[in-house]
């Protein structure tokens, strides 16, 4: 067997599984069972992939896998040549790999076929657990988990990271009920605050974060860094609620504590500058926002691995600043860089993808490419519907944006329906003076104006 070789695998995938794979191009994937492959391209294509393409419920996939035996050795990925016992005798030249073999997805392209458009080629490269990006990211996440604690607490942290806050809520409620020390009561209260912020229950989030602050202040000595985290978290909630002066005050209080307690380029500073940048952005102070986000990105480049999801957040935020400054090409570049990192670092339906698709859609909307914008807004909405409860405030924005596209395309009934759904969610989830309510009313007013219903348009403008 040569040190580097190719093997092939033909199989069917459900449409849903294939769509998920397309979204993770450039990222890592693994096969959870023993992996049967062949050295014979034609048998893999014609006898497996092509046959699967004619199943109404599946897509035919030909995997082309590049194997380096040095990586197999380094990552303890065993394989065996079983050509003498394959179904096609020695023609198939079957190679069997161990379970959980890890590959990087290099390329996905359609195979031209006169009889079907559901035949695809997917090029993979063996990565193993020694892949540089994979190793760095795993090591960094392990450090984060060490900081969180052990056991069940780590599980809750992972559930939040994976975009499963409802599952984390149940776990942290149980842990809080059983907590015997102030340290754990404060920790689990803070984690519950994060859960409630993620699901849009902001008053509950503030309550639990403030409980954590009260406990940390009474501890002897006071836990300064935990206080910094708590003030930062409270700032996040006020930012979500549109109370920007309170958010800025909380973020700056957190930053002051960190400047005293931490070395200059500690990764926590990246979080502080990022959040302060977000408030300035929401207040329309874009030069201050850009400066803060760029400072955050500089620190991340020193302290975290290249494909950590926190980088995606920074590029996304910088893109949003450029977008609001009208610099659409710079915005698109930053948003697409953010999406590339997310595809490598996050599971396919993570809520962060929704934000990226929404933002890229907004750039195309402002460039007048409405069909592209609509497609991206709808992808954003699909992911949010999976990840969030029905009336979460984050669902309002994609409905509002979809309404704006339909309005531009002259489909006024669809536009009105989308804007009204956005308004309905905002009324449930947000305080009466939140600026997003004004956006919903303005969207409705524009549609009525275009329909010639000027009294309804005026009424909506006045409410905004």
Q: What is the pLDDT of residues 128-173, one digit of tens each?
A: 655 566 555 555 555 554 555 556 777 777 777 767 788 888 888 8
Instruction: List beta partners, residue 79.
Output: 97
- Residue 374 belongs to a domain: yes
Among 126, 119, 130, 73, smallest CA distance to 103 is for: 126
- Residue 361 belongs to a domain: yes
What's the CA dihedral at 9, 15, 17, 22 to 10 degrees?
A: 80
Contact 357, 377 (CB under 8 A): yes
Q: Calculate Rg over the CA atoms of the chain.
A: 25
Total of domains in the chain: 4
The string of pLDDT tens digits covering residues 50-95 is 988 888 788 999 999 999 888 877 666 667 776 654 444 556 688 8
> Mean pLDDT, the chain, as a whole number?
87
The string of pLDDT tens digits covering residues 241-253 is 999 999 999 999 9
pLDDT value at residue 88: 44
Q: Which residue has the tokens 């005026």?
A: 458
What's the CATH number where 68 sits? Answer: 3.90.176.10
CA distance 330 to 346: 24
What's the CATH number where 454 sits? Answer: 1.25.40.10
Based on the fold, state whether residues 235 and 331 are members of the same structural domain: no
pLDDT value at residue 76: 62
CA distance 201 to 27: 33
pLDDT value at residue 151: 61
- Residue 38 belongs to a domain: yes
- Residue 369 belongs to a domain: yes
Based on the fold, state whether residues 113 and 147 are members of the same structural domain: no
Based on the fold, state whether residues 316 and 432 are members of the same structural domain: no
Based on the fold, state whether residues 364 and 441 are members of the same structural domain: yes
Calculate what percentage of the chain has a pLDDT beyond 90: 51
Of 209, 240, 261, which one is at a domain's C-terminal end? Answer: 261
pLDDT at 351 over 70: yes
Beta strands 58-68 and 79-81 are unpaired
The most confident of the ranges 6-20, 224-238, 345-359, 417-431 is: 224-238
Of 261, 284, 306, which one is at a domain's C-terminal end? Answer: 261
Q: Which of 39-43, 237-241, 410-414 has the lowest mean pLDDT?
A: 39-43
Based on the number of CB atoms within 10 Å of its own CB, is 2 exposed (0-12), middle (13-18) or buried (19 or more)?
A: exposed
Based on the fold, state whether residues 251 and 272 are members of the same structural domain: no
CA distance 283 to 240: 12
The most confident of the ranges 133-137, 329-333, 396-400, 437-441 is: 329-333
Residue 216 three-state SS:
helix
- Residue 341 belongs to a domain: no
Alpha helices in 242-285 (DSSP H): 244-261, 267-282
- Residue 35 belongs to a domain: yes
With bands split at pLDDT 50, 70 and 90, how would you rate the model's confidence at 295? Answer: very high
Based on the fold, state whether residues 31 and 115 are members of the same structural domain: yes
- Tell me how crowded residue 8 is: count the other CB atoms within 10 A of its CB: 23
Kindly state the average pLDDT of the residues 338-367. Answer: 89
The string of pLDDT tens digits covering residues 315-327 is 999 999 999 999 9
Token pair in block for residue 21:
């794979």
Q: Which residue has the tokens 């954003």?
A: 380
Based on the fold, state whether residues 270 and 238 are members of the same structural domain: no
pLDDT value at residue 1: 67
pLDDT at 123 over 80: yes
DSSP state of 49: I
Contact 183, 218 (CB under 8 A): no
Contact 255, 271 (CB under 8 A): no
The upper half-sphere exposure of residue 324, i.e. CA atoms within 13 Å in the direction of its Cβ, equals: 16
pLDDT value at residue 213: 95
User: In Å, how far are 155, 211, 223, 348, 440 from 176, measured between CA atoms?
Assistant: 14, 12, 19, 31, 39
Numbers of helices and strands, H then E, in the chain: 21, 8
Contacts of residue 169, Cβ cutoff 8 Å, sequence gap at least 6: 192, 195, 196, 199
Based on the fold, state whether residues 165 and 238 are members of the same structural domain: yes
- 3-state DSSP helix/strand/coil % of the chain, to nearest 5: 65, 10, 20
Based on the fold, state whether residues 296 and 240 are members of the same structural domain: no
Buried b (16+ CB within 10 A) or exposed e, 214-244: ebbeeeeeebeebbbbbbbbbbbbbbbbbbb
Give the domain extent around 303. Answer: 262-336
pLDDT value at residue 63: 96
- Stronger pLDDT, 32 or 221, i.e. the higher one: 221
- Measured CA angle at 326 (ends 369, 424), to 5 deg: 65
Residue 83 three-state SS:
helix
Based on the fold, state whether residues 288 and 408 are members of the same structural domain: no
Of 202, 235, 261, which one is at a domain's C-terminal end? Answer: 261
pLDDT value at residue 389: 80
Q: What is the pTM of this model?
A: 0.56
Instruction: List beta partners, residue 102.
Output: 30
Based on the fold, state whether residues 369 and 438 are members of the same structural domain: yes
Based on the fold, state whether residues 267 and 256 are members of the same structural domain: no
Calculate what percentage of the chain has a pLDDT beyond 70: 89
pLDDT value at residue 87: 44
């Amino acid at each position: 067997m040569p040190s580097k070789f190719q093997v092939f695998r033909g199989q069917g995938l459900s449409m849903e599984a294939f769509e998920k794979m397309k979204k993770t191009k450039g990222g890592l994937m693994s096969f959870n069972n023993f992996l049967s492959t062949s050295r014979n391209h034609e048998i893999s294509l014609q006898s497996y992939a092509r046959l699967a393409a004619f199943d109404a419920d599946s897509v035919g996939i030909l995997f082309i896998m590049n194997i380096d035996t040095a990586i197999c050795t380094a990552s303890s990925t065993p394989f065996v040549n079983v050509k003498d016992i394959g179904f096609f005798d020695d023609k198939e030249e079957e190679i069997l790999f161990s379970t959980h073999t890890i590959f990087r997805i290099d390329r996905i392209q359609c195979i031209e076929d006169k009889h079907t458009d559901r035949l695809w080629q997917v090029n993979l490269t063996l990565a193993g657990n020694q892949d540089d990006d994979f190793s760095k990211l795993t090591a960094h996440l392990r450090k984060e988990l060490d900081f969180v604690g052990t056991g069940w607490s780590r599980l809750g942290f992972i559930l939040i990271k994976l975009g499963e806050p409802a599952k984390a809520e149940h776990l942290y409620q149980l842990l809080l009920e059983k907590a015997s020390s102030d340290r754990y009561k404060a920790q689990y209260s803070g984690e519950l605050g994060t859960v409630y912020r993620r699901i849009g229950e902001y008053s509950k989030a503030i309550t639990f974060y403030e409980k954590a602050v009260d406990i940390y202040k009474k501890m002897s000595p006071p836990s300064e860094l935990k206080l910094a985290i708590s003030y930062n978290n409270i700032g996040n909630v006020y930012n979500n609620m549109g109370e920007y002066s309170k958010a800025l005050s909380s973020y700056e209080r957190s930053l002051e504590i960190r400047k005293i307690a931490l070395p200059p380029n500690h990764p926590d500073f990246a979080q502080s500058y990022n959040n302060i940048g977000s408030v300035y952005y929401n207040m329309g102070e874009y030069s201050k926002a850009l400066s803060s986000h760029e400072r955050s990105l500089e620190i991340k480049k020193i302290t975290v691995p290249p494909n950590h999801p926190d980088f995606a957040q920074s590029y996304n935020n910088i893109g949003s600043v450029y977008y609001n400054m009208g610099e659409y090409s710079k915005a698109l570049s930053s948003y697409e860089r953010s999406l590339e990192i997310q595809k490598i670092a996050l599971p396919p339906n993570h809520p962060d993808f929704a934000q990226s698709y929404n933002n890229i859609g907004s750039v195309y909307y402002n460039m007048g490419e409405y069909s592209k914008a609509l497609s991206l807004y709808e992808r954003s909405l699909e992911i949010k519907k999976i990840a969030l409860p029905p009336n979460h405030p984050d669902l309002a924005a994609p409905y509002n944006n979809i309404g704006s596209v339909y309005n531009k395309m002259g489909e006024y009934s669809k536009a009105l329906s989308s804007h009204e759904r956005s308004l309905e969610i905002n009324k449930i989830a947000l305080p009466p003076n939140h600026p997003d309510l004004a956006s919903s009313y303005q969207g409705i007013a524009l549609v009525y104006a275009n329909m010639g219903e000027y009294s309804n348009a005026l009424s909506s403008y006045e409410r905004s």
